[in-house]
Structure 1
Amino acid sequence: MIVRIMGEGQVKLADSHFAELNKLDEALLSEVERGDGPGFRETLHALLDKVRELGTPLPDDSLEPSELILPSPDATLEEVRDLLSDDGLIPGG
């Protein structure tokens, strides 16, 4: 799956990593719903760090369609709230 981190670029991520990422996504959804700013910030950074760690960066000139778009590391709680679905940022979680 191709994942875009807004403002950074794209990474290719194996589907086998999504169970691990969904745990962070569920925590993030809960923190956004509670309005827990510090917890949200910590979990968002953990989620993005994990995507960077597990993924393989695509070249900047790559034009692959992104199957998943994640917010930038400096996104606000309100901006992420607008991006969330009932499943969180990662569908099927």
Structure 2
Amino acid sequence: MGDVVAESKVDFGAFAVLNKWPSLANQRQPDREPYQVIEGTLDQCISAFMEKPAATRHLYEIRTAAQPPLVTGILSPEQVIELSRWREFL
């Protein structure tokens, strides 16, 4: 993935929304819709996500405009963590 990142430009200033899934016993409730926690830039949403306790991060997702190949329209917790790491290098 290192080569892909080196050749890819990620716009961390792009509009994004951090959403949280309703949960019960720390598990997503798939029959409910996620709700907005914050809206701002992709950078702000990544920062807000990383401030959440690691044990609850699976309940969050970031929605933004796709920026292939690294950024999809809905970013999973694993993708957000990877982008947070790459952001430090870019």
State whether TM-score is above 0.5: no
Computing the radius of gyration over CA atoms, which structure comes out larger, 1 or 2?
2
TM-score (norm 1): 0.31
Highest RCO, 1 vs 2 (Cα 8 Å, sep ≥ 6): 1
**Comparing both structures, which one devotes a greater share of its residues to helix?**
1
TM-score (norm 2): 0.32
